[in-house]
Amino acid sequence: MRLWIGPLLALTALALGACGGPFPQSALDPASDFAWKLQHLFEGIFLWAVVVFVLVEGALIVAILRFRERPGGPTPKATHGNTVLEIAWTLAPAVVLVLIAIPTVRVIWDVDRPARGESLVVEAIGHQWWWEFRYPELGIVTANELHIPVGVQVDVRLTSADVIHSFWFPRLGGKRDVIPGHETQIWFTADSAGLYLGQCAEFCGLSHALMKMQLVAESPAEFEAWVEHQKSDALVADSAAFADGSQAFMQGGCIACHAVRGTIAQGVLGPDLTHVGSRRRIAAGILENTPANMERWIKNSRGVKPGSLMVVPELDDETVSRIVAYLQSLK
Amino acid sequence: MSQTDAATMEMHSATGLPNRKVLMWAFIGSECMLFGSLIIVYMVYRGKSLVGPYPADLLNIPFITVTTFVLLMSSLMMVLALSAVQRGDMRWGKVWLFMTAFFGMIFLGGQVYEFTHFVHEGLTLQTNLFGGSFFLLTGTHGAHVTVGVIWLLSLFFMAQRGRLTQANAETVEIAGLYWHFVDVVWIVLFTLIYLLV
Amino acid sequence: MAVTAASPSGSAGHAHEGTYSGGLLSWITTVDHKRIGVMYGVSAFFFFLVGGIEALLIRLQLGSPESTLIDPDLYNQLFTMHGTTMVFLAIMPLSAAFFNFIVPLQIGARDVAFPRLNAFSFWVFFLGALFMNASFLFGGAPDAGWFGYANLTSTQYSPGIRVDFWVIGLLVLGVSSIAAALNFIVTIINLRCEGMTLMRMPLFTWMTLITSFLLVMAFPAITVGLVLLMFDRMFGTLFFNPMAGGDVLLWQHLFWIFGHPEVYILLLPGLGMVSEIIPVFSRKPLFGYAFVVYSGILIAFLGFGVWAHHMFAVGLGPVANTVFSAATMLIAIPTGVKIFNWIATLWGGSLRMRTPLYFSLGFIAMFIIGGLSGVMHASAAADLQQTDTYFIVAHIHYVLFGGVMFALFAGMYYWIPKVTGRMLSDRLGKLHFWIMLISFNLTFFPQHFLGLHGMPRRTFTYESGLGFEAMNLMSTVGSMFLGASMLIFIWNVLHMLRKGPPAGDDPWDGATLEWSMASPPPHYNFRALPVVHSRDPLWAADTTEAVPGDDPSVPEPHMPGPSYFPFVTAVGIVVMAAGGLTTALPVVAVGVALILFGIYGWAFQPLEH
């Protein structure tokens, strides 16, 4: 029975967004066990909604067409009600609701409990307006780009450094609020490799719309390789340009907030930059990680992301390009 | 609001109850939700303060038991005041109205003493969650008592000038409803804040 | 017709144009429920337009991806004020306009129980609304969302006075709402005319009564939340400070314990209007009156037990989510019962296809969609994908615009002839209806899919390449037509005021008492109070004598005289609020003095002339 619901939903969606799409951030395109559970539940409810919609709107339209006033028509009979009918249409929705409630409760107890069994623990910390990711068991700290192995359960522990945020990768499952003073939790197993898009879903101030993140699900082997690389200290190249850039970074005030492992930069307020050059995007997922974009970001972070808390001292163009070259080299 | 409503005189009351009494009951319903919400806040934050002073360090139960008794007695006097006005005995009506207000003032005096004492001991609104929720809850109640005292004194002065008579017994009854409600709220607060430390 | 005893409508209508005469001062001091109703209606519609313009600006910004038309700072103010305005300054007072004008007429009363308290409610609302909107002129409007989640509203994350405007403004508006609701509770319980038992009350009056109880019980919760927030912001308390052990979720509980009943506060009056209009235009009594009444009561009752369905993503745990899911689904049952009874009322009727019925039918059709999407997120698990996305934006607009606003327009087309004594154009009304219906769906239907495809709400921009462009553009185009449809309505009203044909006493062959008198009604409503014997007194042929009409031989009743004390007291409250906002103690003192002067003057002023 379920077989045709998916296509029906997709068809309606398609008809509406015929000129839209593809939808890389769509909740209707599940890619994890968690997302599939919610999708199946939603499809069931959607089916009932369609049935009820057709029946009730149909009855309304029939009533309108059939009982329009006509010249010489009969005077309506003053019926005041019918107890049997009333009971019937009190019970009918109740039955439908029970049929919706049963799978609902089953899924609630499946997804709202703590994770069971082996899982990879990730700590996600929401900041205005970026994400910090820590892998306590692996000793990795990174930002805005989460890597996970396909087929392994990931247990994300959520806390906030400031206000309430909400963690949401639509293709990997529902959202969970990130609340200061509370630790919340969400867990899922990605079922196929790929790049997934996510963003903050709870209004968190000026640049809430620009608080994005990416998730890379990869084969366990690729993930291992990534972990090994992330564990290593920042790269040190033996060139004059590198030394220049490194010096500009260390003396430019950046290290007050940013850390680059293996150097004197040990700031904790901003994203860890040890391997920033290897990330796909910068500024919490809103800019491609290119030298030009990084330069734009450093020179005008509040133009790119209004209200950004990054404090950049006065730097001349020359220094900025040196810093960018250095950061880009931190693969 | 205390004058008889011209329109009302001609509009009969479908329930037989005076409009102002129905108004007061509905208002008390709303007040229950107000104090209920404040009590929830206090209970949620019980034991959640990160720094002292804590309730057990400060609350002086014998003292508050005395002022609680005074407030309860004022309710009794309110009953006597109403009954005197209803039978047209304005002399005793005035006495009891004044005594009710006076006992209310003693209660308020106790609260002022308690608050100043706490502030001296280092508990302010900003100290911890206990300070904030305690002062807000008991302060809101104190504000209600204050309004009640002003109301009762207004009635007393009206009676002094002969503007309050047996015909206005309903006015006294409505003030009494409010006063009893405020007392009942205090019994709940006394139990939750002081007895269940 | 049953009301033939009433004097001929032409002369009666002419005789009572005095209902609205008099200068500005007479409006400020009036205590007549009809004039107060008109003032509520006009000002609420004004704020409806303000909120609408805010919405159109939001849609313009979202019409294209990565648009720079409106910066995020302004955008956040716009969506915060759009929500706050539509809920507190447009829909609630528009309902209050109908409560004021219609309820006393429907229950056969000459005014509300406390006419001056009524004037006070209006002035507090009106001045409070101006106060809230004045924020645009002083450093910007509130920008933390209409739901104002802690701790984004703390001074640390929202410095300045924007959020203070919101906190103090809502506290002021709360005074107005509670005062008005208390007044209507007493009015409906006590001032019903002889024979008007509870189960003979018109449905609109019933829903007003239930709404009033909801207001009185729900507003204290948000009042406490707002006071805690105000103390945090002004006196440095720690209620919502997580560093000191404060719990930011406490705000969400307090807000939604108010906020969900609030949804029914917005909705129930509309349900009541439609329950009046459908029978009149079907020429048939309401099907299952008792069931419609009880389902309204049940909706209100259940409305207090479902607040945490706004918090399914918070992580309250499976027990809470199960309980609140189940409770929320239960609400679908009484709501469904109402819809079935409306359809059953239409069934077998003789439908007069006039504008009020058009809007009522549009209401049912749209409300069904809003209800069904509501069931989708009543399921806590499915809601994890839907909450905080455009799916919810679509849902609330199907309920509050497709539902409530269609019903309120039905009510306006139905009762404006009674208010002004003139008929609106049916042709323009139907044009308004069709443009509004089509553009409404064009605006909001695609938003369901935007949400499911991953677009979060309250975002000032979206990236191109996520597939959101086309549907957002559709939505923006739709919203422009939706805005334009309001111009048709305004034109219709202005045209009516100048040239509208006289309405007569009872243009629709209505069933309830308000149609037994001249349009506009005389200031005393009824010379002799009516006696009713049935639910539809004007349809029952044998009650001609019971609904006496405006017999000039009966002396005019004395009505309460005008008073400026309610206005003075209201001014005092807003002055005190302004002083609190700027922490200017002398201003607060002036406000308190005005309040005391107003209250004492009020208490000792006799009501009669």
- pLDDT at residue A22 tops 50: yes
C206 catalytic residue (yes or no): no
Q: What digits encode the pLDDT tens for the residues C431-440? A: 999 999 999 9
Q: Which of B22, B48, B129 minimises the CB distance to C189?
A: B22
- pLDDT at residue A220 tops 60: yes
Q: Which of B26, B31, B49 minimises the CB distance to C245?
A: B49
Q: Please report the ipTM that was assigned to this predicted complex.
A: 0.93
Chain A, nearest residue to C368 by Cα: A53
Return mean pLDDT, chain C: 93
Return mean pLDDT, chain A: 92
The mean pLDDT of C454-458, rounded to a whole number, is 96
Region of poorest pLDDT, from A238-247, C238-247, C390-399, C447-456 = A238-247
Share above pLDDT 70 across residues of chain B, in percent, rounded to a whole number: 94
Q: Write down the pLDDT at residue C131.
A: 97
Q: Write down the pLDDT at residue C10.
A: 37
Window C:284-343, CB contacts with A under 8 Å? 284-285, 287-291, 313-315, 317-318, 321-322, 325-326, 329-330, 332-333, 336-337, 339-341, 343
Return mean pLDDT, chain B: 92
Q: Write down the pLDDT at residue B6.
A: 40
C427 touches chain B (CB under 8 A): no
Q: Write down the pLDDT at residue B2.
A: 35
Sign of torsion over alpha carbons C360, C363, C367, C369: positive
Is residue C541 within 8 Å of residue C550, measured between CB atoms? Answer: no
- Chains B and C: 3 or more CB pairs within 8 Å of each other: yes
Q: Write down the pLDDT at residue A63.
A: 96
Q: Write down the pLDDT at residue A6.
A: 57
Question: How many angstroms separate the CA atoms of A48 and C373, rounded?
Answer: 11
Q: Write down the pLDDT at residue C9.
A: 37
Is residue C30 within 8 Å of residue C36, measured between CB atoms? Answer: yes
Q: Write down the pLDDT at residue C527.
A: 87
- pLDDT at residue A3 tops 70: no
Helix (H, G, I), strand (E, B) or coil at C375: helix
Region of poorest pLDDT, from A242-251, B31-40, C227-236, C250-259 = A242-251
The mean pLDDT of C525-548, rounded to a whole number, is 77
Q: In a mutagenesis test of the C interface, which of A29, A56, A113, A116 is the best target, namely the one with the most C β-carbons within 10 Å?
A: A56
The mean pLDDT of A198-203, rounded to a whole number, is 97
- HSE-CB at C65 with a 13 A cutoff on CA atoms is 13
Helical (H) or strand (E) element with A216: strand A212-218
Q: Write down the pLDDT at residue C367.
A: 97
Window C:95-124, CB contacts with B under 8 Å? 109-111, 113-117
Q: What is the pTM of this model?
A: 0.94
Angle at A230 between CA A224 and CA A235, to 5 degrees: 130
Q: Write down the pLDDT at residue C348.
A: 92
Q: Write down the pLDDT at residue C540.
A: 79
In the set C19, C84, C95, C275, the catalytic residue is: C275
- Chains A and B: 3 or more CB pairs within 8 Å of each other: no
Neighbouring subunits of B (3+ Cβ pairs under 8 A): C
Q: What digits encode the pLDDT tens for the residues C277-306? A: 999 999 999 999 999 999 999 999 999 999
Q: What are phi and psi of A216, to 5 degrees?
A: -105, 115
C338 catalytic residue (yes or no): yes
- pLDDT at residue A1 tops 70: no
Q: What digits encode the pLDDT tens for the residues C208-224? A: 999 999 999 999 999 99
Q: How confident is the model at residue C603 (pLDDT cuts 50, 70, 90)?
A: confident
- pLDDT at residue C13 tops 60: no
Share above pLDDT 70 across residues of chain C, in percent, rounded to a whole number: 95
Sequence-ordered list of residues with C-beta below 8 angstroms from that of A164, at least 6 positions apart, any chain: A177, A178, A179, A180, A202, A204, C149, C151, C152, C248
In 3D, which of C157, C459, C469, C142 has the Cα closest to residue A211?
A: C459
Reduced to 3 DSSP states, what percent helix, strand and coil does chain A have, rounded to the nearest 5? 40, 20, 40
Region of poorest pLDDT, from A65-79, A141-155, C318-332 = A65-79
Q: Which residues pair with C502 in a beta bridge?
A: C422
- pLDDT at residue B102 tops 50: yes
In the set C43, C153, C154, C176, the catalytic residue is: C176
A286 touches chain C (CB under 8 A): yes
Share above pLDDT 90 across residues of chain A, in percent, rounded to a whole number: 82
Q: What is the DSSP letter of C199?
A: G
Residues in chain B, overall count = 197
Q: Which of C217, C218, C224 minimises the CB distance to B41?
A: C224
Q: What digits encode the pLDDT tens for the residues C51-92? A: 999 999 999 999 999 999 999 999 999 999 999 999 999 999
Q: What is the DSSP letter of A4?
A: G
Q: Write down the pLDDT at residue C553.
A: 78
Q: Which of A69, A85, A107 minimises the CB distance to C352?
A: A69
Sign of torsion over alpha carbons C74, C78, C79, C81: positive
Q: How confident is the model at residue C15 (pLDDT cuts 50, 70, 90)?
A: very low
The mean pLDDT of C325-329, rounded to a whole number, is 95
- Tracing tokens 């009304």 back to the chain, one arrives at C429
Q: What crossing angle do the helices spanning C203-235 and C162-190 adopt, rounded to 10°? A: 150
- pLDDT at residue C2 tops 50: no
- Kindly report the nearest CA distance between residue C274 and chain B, in angstroms: 27
Q: Write down the pLDDT at residue A110.
A: 93
SS3 track for C10-40? HHHHHHCHHHHCCCHHHHHHCCCHHHHHHHH
Q: Write down the pLDDT at residue B5.
A: 41
- pLDDT at residue C122 tops 50: yes
- Kindly report the nearest CA distance between residue B14 and chain C, in angstroms: 5
Q: Write down the pLDDT at residue C506.
A: 92
Helix (H, G, I), strand (E, B) or coil at C309: helix
Q: Write down the pLDDT at residue C606.
A: 73
Q: Higher confidence at residue A314 or residue A183?
A: A183
The encoded tokens of residue C3 equal: 């009301």
- pLDDT at residue C378 tops 50: yes
B185 touches chain C (CB under 8 A): no
Q: Write down the pLDDT at residue A9.
A: 60
- CA C388, distance to chain mean position in Å, is 24
